[in-house]
Chain A
């Protein structure tokens, strides 16, 4: 299971990569594996102002639906529309397949998000629970 060092993570298996006051958001390798073949992505509307932990978008495999939550407060400024045609790219390259680019809201913080090490530890606790 890949967990790149350079990203921040949530316990709901999103990753976030910040660049100044913008950020790219995607789902982790663990998430794509758990969901299986992703066959459909419902993207958010550009301009949508979303609070942390609200639903950013939906990913669906033939078997299941999964919601992706905002790791931060922000406004959607771009979506990766290539994924609407090739949603399976999320399975093959979860960290290259960003879902949305957001403009961080004033005062938005990445506080509470996990670093790679912390996320790996968290994954271990899930495995043990199984």
Chain B
């Protein structure tokens, strides 16, 4: 008799059609049918009993060596609290199985393997475990395994559980209690859903947990829909995409490109079973990626998704042809439903309409992958199929989205007109936009500032659009040499600007040629890299590492990430095969604040050479002096940089002064809380002949820009006069307005991020919660009512498309004269619009119309006549 999971009786009671699968009696589908189950997972949430899978607990003093020996991945890359996909290779570079490894706690790992392979895996790995001093406990019977998948799965899980703490990243693991049972879980699954969880439940609690999750709206789903879901996600199944292929030969593990991301050849991993064969496959894989098909014998065939473009459903084993040439086989094929979406881009909405498409995976000769149109032979008849990259995308949570072959946008084309008419239209639309933004709309984007009249008008005057390249030459005692004539005026402007910025920041040295904060960071990272390699210019330069920064999801600047300006400058850690980056841990009770003790522990562990403070979602001061004191106390010579893009205009005693607190360098953009124009800067207490400072200047020019936008530099000088003139009143007003606005928003009924006990915020920002994944829709509604905010992914959310917050800043409206009273009124209007569904457009325009004159500026001092002269220049 086949094995039964602890949920067997439940499946039978639910009326499931039971089948024997890999020696287990499992539900194939429930009475609603597998298509309804597939749809339920994609639109709501599905619940799978996957307790048939093998669960092996690995521990013991030799556990790391053992896992390095039997898995394709580098086990050092799996941090505590993470899970990862791996191959269990054989010596030939085939797969004995594919597996997931979960690291819930120190000292032990949970290896989950396919039910059909549990015994073969065990007989393969047990002798190795004995040899290396690892212990394998088969806990398949002790722990049930339940998979909860789909866009509603997170709501259901949080509703069902207590004490759940789980980071919003794919493959993170966590723990919680459900129905009083301790449950381990991870953000993993086999459906391609961006939200999905695998739960490891004590066997005696499985039925109660299952019932609780169903009671909250998860639909039971069986093996049949599990298969169509995994195929739609182009995920492999052993026996189809791994193991023996349709032609009877073993499929090389890396034929499936997901496997290529799960192999390591690092020294730290050392030799392991199948390494040499996998290395040959990997080298071929790299060539194939570059469409170089010579010498790829180790990986002659690869697996790619396809969709049928004619009638019929290609099934596993069907032959694939390219023209008359037989080039491979279908490894898995089915027909699967998908939802139609309507609209475009971020505003696209799922409809209730479903369609079906025939999809699958095929193993084809590698040199064919540049082709698109193939044919499959279905019961003797050829039908056209198309090689595609994927069938669904999961990078816009909470939904996975179907990518349909041949889709094209049917957008309205811009109207045909004479250029004379187009020119007039453009000017008239620009005037309308300017008036809306300057007089009717209330702008709360915290990254933005609007300019005073003097700054705006100066920015368009003559030095704009010209060049003024310059660099210091030691032959002239490091005097700046300008390469063009006619630059006398702008040279003076730049000198004055640097003096003003130096005074504002209390910094000895300022570089103001960067055109943006992002460019300032690129200059900083490039200069630090060059400085690091100053002793040897003849070798490949070493990159930066370790770097400690704020994670993007917790507010870290995009430009301080490997996906931003750090990309080309950060090293890989040879021990982990990952970027030499660690993130500042945040507090569980308030993720907007760093966990200082954990941060210190990480600093001791990784001894970073660069620490980057600063965030774009920033409610609190950064712990510069605490960390400076700490690194000094442990004798660590780390470079501390603070990206003040958002908070430059708040620099001073009301907020913080990083250069006094121990930061080596401040970078910033000049147009968020600072008064504009849109540029960037770098500043620090460097002597002019400091080698690093020289690097910074040379990375600005000629490294980053030779045309540093002279008009906005002139405007920035006026803005810097304004900043210094109002340094004692403006930052204080902005911050107290933000605190007052946050409190008013809370009074009006919004959930406000941050801690009420400390006034929610210490910056210009206030963040409200508007409901999981509702941020985009609410921000659009507010814009239609004249209130410009930005939707914000809060620390609990998985991506921008799941944004549940709005991020707002008080700086621009403070300059237009808003005080606590007006921010209070605004909070009420927002509540009327967002919480009570009212139209507040005219009330917003009325409020705004009383505050159209800019304060904290020098327009009055310049005088109306001078401003008019400036305007008349255009």
Residues of A at the B interface (CB closer than 8 Å) are 36-37, 39-40, 42, 60-63, 65, 88, 91
Contacts and interface: CB of A to CB of B under 8 A. Distances in A.
Given A62-B224, A62-B334, A63-B224, A37 B35 contact: yes
A63 B37 CA distance: 14
A40 B33 contact: no
28 contacts: A36-B17, A36-B33, A36-B34, A37-B29, A37-B33, A37-B34, A37-B35, A37-B224, A39-B356, A40-B312, A40-B356, A40-B358, A42-B312, A60-B313, A61-B34, A61-B335, A62-B224, A62-B227, A62-B228, A62-B334, A63-B34, A63-B224, A63-B227, A63-B334, A65-B313, A65-B315, A88-B33, A88-B35
B28 interface: yes
Interface residues of B, number: 21
B337 interface: yes
Interface string B336-349: 11000000000000
B311 interface: yes
Contacts of A36: 17, 28-29, 33-34, 224
Given A60-B313, A62-B224, A63-B227, A40 B35 contact: no
A55 to B, nearest CB: 10
A40 B336 CA distance: 10
Contacts of A88: 33, 35
Contacts of A42: 311-312
A39 B224 contact: no
A107 B227 CA distance: 47
A25 to B, nearest CB: 20
Candidate in A60, A63, A65 with the most chain B CB atoms within 10 angstroms: A63
A36 B34 CA distance: 8
B315 A39 contact: no
A60 B360 CA distance: 15
Contacts of A39: 35, 335, 337, 356
Contacts of B379: 65
A31 to B, nearest CB: 14
Given A36-B33, A39-B356, 17 more contacts: A36-B17, A36-B28, A37-B35, A39-B35, A40-B335, A40-B356, A60-B335, A61-B34, A61-B335, A62-B35, A62-B224, A62-B228, A62-B336, A63-B28, A63-B34, A63-B334, A65-B379
Which 5 A-B pairs rank lowest in CB-CB distance, beginning with the nearest? Answer: A37-B35, A39-B335, A62-B334, A37-B33, A62-B228
Candidate in B313, B315, B337 with the most chain A CB atoms within 10 angstroms: B313
Contacts of A37: 29, 33-36, 224
Interface of B: 17, 28-29, 33-36, 224, 227-228, 311-313, 315, 334-337, 356, 358, 379
B335 to A, nearest CB: 4
A18 to B, nearest CB: 30
A94 to B, nearest CB: 14
Contact of A62 (B17, B312, B335): B335
Contacts of A40: 312-313, 335, 356, 358
A36 B35 CA distance: 9
Nearest to A39: B335
B400 to A, nearest CB: 18
Nearest to B231: A62
B712 to A, nearest CB: 59
A2 B846 CA distance: 70
A61 B313 CA distance: 10
Contacts of B33: 36-37, 88, 91
Contacts of B358: 40
Nearest to B312: A42
A62 to B, nearest CB: 4
A40 B313 CA distance: 8
Contacts of B312: 40, 42
Nearest to B311: A42
Nearest to A63: B224
A62 B334 CA distance: 5
Contacts of B227: 62-63
Nearest to B337: A39
A63 B33 CA distance: 12
Contacts of B29: 36-37
Nearest to A43: B311
A37 B337 CA distance: 11
Contacts of A63: 28, 34, 224, 227, 334
A61 B335 CA distance: 7
A61 B227 CA distance: 12
B392 to A, nearest CB: 16
A39 to B, nearest CB: 4
A29 to B, nearest CB: 14
Candidate in A37, A39, A62 with the most chain B CB atoms within 10 angstroms: A62
Nearest to B38: A62
Nearest to A34: B17
B125 to A, nearest CB: 32
Contacts of A65: 313, 315, 379
